[in-house]
Amino acid sequence: DTAVSQTPKYLVTQMGNDKSIKCEQNLGHDTMYWYKQDSKKFLKIMFSYNNKELIINETVPNRFSPKSPDKAHLNLHINSLELGDSAVYFCASSQQGTGANVLTFGAGSRLTVL
């Protein structure tokens, strides 16, 4: 069983389109994250949810909207896609508390905007 699963793994789309990436974790963790990894491998936090509540919202265009229907899911919707949105998006989860802060990452979703 995959601990953190993301779909789709690859996404190729045109500029201006709207797309979503889904993430699910079966670890029972209470916190989920979206990270963006650019072409230089730099990993940047975008959002974090704890028990469905938004706790981290970094400087990200408002075209990006996360949604957490329950603590096992954190989806990312992107409106009006731009070329600069091309990247690999990683979902991750963790359990807050003692021994926490260890992130379990999904396999990534490679978004290519043409």
Q: Does 64 help bind another protein (rule: CB under 8 A)? A: no
Nearer to another protein, 40 or 84 (CB): 40
Among residues 90, 55, 89, 95, which one has the least CA distance to residue 72? 95
Q: Which of 14, 39, 42, 83 binds another protein (CB under 8 A)?
A: 42
Q: DSSP letter at 95? A: -
Q: Which residues contact 64 (CB under 8 A, 6 or more apart)?
A: 46, 47, 76, 77, 78, 79
Q: Which of 28, 41, 59, 84 binds another protein (CB under 8 A)?
A: 41
Q: Which residues pair with 31 in a beta bridge?
A: 50, 94
Q: Does 66 help bind another protein (rule: CB under 8 A)? A: no
Q: Which of 21, 23, 24, 33 binds another protein (CB under 8 A)?
A: 33
- Quick one: which segment of 16-24, 65-73, 76-84, 99-107 binds another protein (CB under 8 A)? 99-107
